[in-house]
């Protein structure tokens, strides 16, 4: 008997068909993957199961009984717990306060809330300890890295010991070690009979954790498969209709001209004495375990974080103490957290995509609307952004499609250095390739990139060189034949056989 089952679920948003006649079923104690390209309906189905979104038609059954889930109370009562793709933590509140917020409302104030709180704090500390790190409970959430925030969300969800757990791209900002620790906890819950729905664009994770997978395409179920009998190519074919061409990239060699140089760059406790040169047309990676200062280095160069030391741009020392100064020099940032820095969520897709580059196209301050639509249509087509109408607010796009919009807007600017901070987080395979191709093309036009990524494969596919960071310092540089996944992992953990160290 199915533990969780949906029958004939339909959902439209205005004219957009998000789900159509979705029949989906999980056995008790099963870890079931929900797969599909960006905008295929995964998050919408998750939210219908948790009662955040109401279906137009269809029924959710739990233990064969129609479940009426209309909000958080019903969801808790059914033993469902979820980690959504968008973080739901409140940045100004402390970790402890955020954990409390997530507790079952009916128990709040009672003796049970204390126990529940304690359990969540314990789960969080267990996860942190396995990672040899600490996540302090009494600091504001905004002072944590995005991966740490994600771990807080996960700990909150796991601590409820749910009967049904939904993880919607909960691992997207985590690196391999963290993912493994989270998987251990998920498997432990499964042993206790918990049913898990797992959503991820990283197929390796899916094969590692899940037994079966259901694939959505344009809001319809196209296949349900046993993963043991399925290849990655099969899954891609189900997701995309046809297999994406994965012909390898050929990133041209960089020029000799140095565009950006940092000398003895330090920032309080975040990173120390960083030195590197970035040449025209070069893609330089920042690797290492999560939270070793990579994002902070990028933020400093973007003028969003105080630093000491020197930054030279095209041979001249520059003072970059606010983002406007960076953008003026032609340095732009594609952030990992699109909701904080990347997008004006209430504004339309067209406005978001065209605004930063508007100056290049306006004459005497005048803009032709038709031209702006054309430009936006170009980006939408190139990155295959799934959007019904470019005049809709950008927050109506699926998570991955929002990220494509962030990247699209910077592709249009004529920037010299692009700082990419985990740019393909939550982006599907096909779009990821499109983004890589765009990077390759810009690179051949002489644009330089500094790329931090939680995905080692991405660093290897794109970068000419990778600087590995550990506790705020550069501990190794990998290039050419040495740039392998094995060496990257080893250098990240400071196990260094065969790797040339830099000190």
Ligand X SMILES: Nc1ncnc2c1ncn2[C@@H]1O[C@H](COP(=O)(O)OP(=O)(O)OP(=O)(O)O)[C@@H](O)[C@H]1O
By CB under 5 A, the residues from 70 to 89 that bind Mg ion are 85
Number of Cα atoms under 13 Å in the Cβ half of residue 183? 17
Q: List CB contacts of 71: < 8 A, sequence separation 6 or more.
A: 51
Give the one residue of 42, 202, 279, 338 binding ligand X; rule: CB under 6 A: 42
Residue with tokens 């790329």: 451
Which window, 103-111, 285-293, 397-405, 481-489, contacts ligand X (CB under 6 A)?
397-405
Question: Which has the closest alpha carbon to 442: 404, 420, 415?
Answer: 415
487 is a site residue for ligand X (CB under 6 A) = no
| 294 binding partner (options ligand X, Mg ion, none; Cβ < 5 to 8 Å by kind) | none
For residue 241, report the phi and psi dihedrals to the nearest 5 degrees: 90, -40
405 is a site residue for ligand X (CB under 6 A) = no
Q: How many residues bind Mg ion (CB under 5 A)?
A: 4
Give the one residue of 259, 333, 397, 460 binding ligand X; rule: CB under 6 A: 397
Which window, 31-39, 115-123, 157-165, 494-502, contacts ligand X (CB under 6 A)?
31-39
Give the one residue of 399, 408, 423, 472 binding Mg ion; rule: CB under 5 A: 399
Q: How far is the CB of 293 from Mg ion (least distance, A)?
A: 30
Q: How many residues bind ligand X (CB under 6 A)?
A: 19
Whole-angstrom CA distances from 41 to 203, 380, 419 are 18, 19, 31
Give the one residue of 9, 36, 102, 127 binding ligand X; rule: CB under 6 A: 36
44 is a site residue for ligand X (CB under 6 A) = yes
Question: Which has the closest alpha carbon to 453: 320, 313, 304, 435?
Answer: 435
13 is a site residue for ligand X (CB under 6 A) = yes
* Secondary structure (DSSP) of 172-226: TT--HHHHHHHHHHHHHHHHTT-EEEEE-S-HHHHHHH-SEEEEEETTEEEEEEE
Q: Which residue is nearest to ligand X (CB)?
A: 400
387 or 466: whose CB is closer to ligand X? 387
Across 333-366, b (16+ Cβ under 10 Å) vs e yields bbbbbbeebbbeeeebbbbbbbeebeeeeeeeee
Which window, 55-63, 251-259, 275-283, 392-400, contacts ligand X (CB under 6 A)?
392-400
85 is a site residue for ligand X (CB under 6 A) = yes
| 36 binding partner (options Mg ion, ligand X, none; Cβ < 5 to 8 Å by kind) | ligand X
Give the one residue of 5, 24, 31, 43 binding Mg ion; rule: CB under 5 A: 43
d(CA 484, CA 344): 38
398 or 424: whose CB is closer to ligand X? 398
Beta bridge partners of 12: 17
By CB under 6 A, the residues from 335 to 364 that bind ligand X are none
Three-state DSSP state, 86: coil
How do the residues of the chain divide into helix, strand and coil, expressed in percent and rounded to 5?
A: 40, 25, 35
Question: Which has the closest alpha carbon to 227: 62, 35, 453?
Answer: 35
Q: How far is the CB of 321 from ligand X (least distance, A)?
A: 35
Binding region for ligand X (CB under 6 A):
13, 16, 18, 36, 38-44, 85, 386, 396-401
Contact residues for Mg ion, defined by CB under 5 A: 43, 85, 398-399
């Amino acid at each position: 008997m199915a533990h969780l089952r949906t029958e004939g679920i339909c959902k439209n948003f205005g004219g957009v068909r998000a789900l159509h006649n979705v029949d989906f079923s999980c056995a008790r104690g099963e870890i079931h993957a929900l797969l599909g390209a960006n905008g295929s309906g995964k998050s919408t189905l998750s939210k219908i199961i948790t009662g955040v979104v109401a279906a137009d038609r269809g029924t959710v059954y739990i233990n064969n009984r129609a479940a009426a889930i209309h909000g958080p109370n019903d969801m808790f009562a059914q033993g469902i717990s979820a980690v959504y793709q968008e973080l739901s933590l409140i940045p100004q509140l402390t970790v402890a306060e955020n954990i409390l917020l997530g507790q079952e409302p009916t128990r709040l104030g009672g003796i049970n809330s204390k126990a529940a709180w304690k359990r969540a704090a314990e789960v969080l500390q267990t996860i942190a300890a396995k990672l040899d790190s600490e996540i302090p409970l009494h600091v504001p959430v905004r002072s944590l890295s995005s991966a740490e925030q994600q771990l807080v969300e996960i700990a909150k969800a796991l601590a409820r010991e749910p009967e049904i757990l939904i993880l919607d791209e909960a691992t997207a900002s985590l690196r391999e070690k963290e993912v493994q620790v989270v998987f251990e906890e998920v498997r432990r819950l499964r042993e206790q009979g918990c049913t898990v729905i797992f959503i991820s664009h990283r197929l390796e994770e899916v094969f590692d954790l899940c037994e079966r997978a259901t694939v959505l395409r344009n809001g319809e179920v196209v296949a349900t498969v046993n993963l043991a009998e399925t290849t990655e190519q099969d899954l891609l074919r189900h997701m995309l209709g046809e297999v994406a061409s994965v012909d390898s990239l050929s990133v041209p060699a960089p020029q000799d001209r140095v565009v950006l140089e940092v000398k003895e760059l330090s920032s309080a406790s975040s990173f120390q004495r960083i030195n590197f040169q970035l040449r025209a047309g070069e893609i330089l990676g920042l690797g290492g375990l999560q939270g070793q200062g990579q994002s902070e280095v990028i933020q400093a160069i973007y003028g969003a974080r105080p630093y000491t030391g020197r930054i030279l741009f095209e041979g001249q020392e520059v003072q970059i103490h606010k983002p406007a100064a960076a953008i003026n020099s032609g340095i732009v940032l594609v952030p990992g957290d699109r909701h904080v820095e990347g997008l004006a969520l209430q504004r339309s897709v067209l406005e978001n995509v065209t605004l930063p580059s508007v100056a290049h196209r306006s004459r005497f301050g005048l803009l032709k609307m038709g031209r702006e639509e054309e430009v936006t249509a170009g980006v939408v087509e190139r990155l295959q952004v799934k959007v019904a109408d470019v005049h809709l607010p950008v927050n109506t796009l699926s998570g991955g499609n929002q990220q494509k919009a962030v990247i699209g807007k910077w592709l249009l600017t004529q920037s010299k250095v692009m700082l990419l901070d985990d740019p393909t987080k939550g982006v599907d395979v096909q779009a990821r390739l499109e983004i890589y191709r765009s990077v390759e093309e810009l690179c051949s036009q002489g644009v330089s990139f500094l790329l931090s990524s939680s995905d080692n494969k991405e660093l290897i596919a794109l970068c000419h060189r990778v600087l590995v960071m550990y506790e705020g310092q550069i501990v190794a540089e990998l290039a050419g034949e040495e740039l392998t996944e094995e060496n990257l992992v080893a250098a990240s953990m400071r196990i260094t056989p065969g790797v040339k160290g830099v000190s």
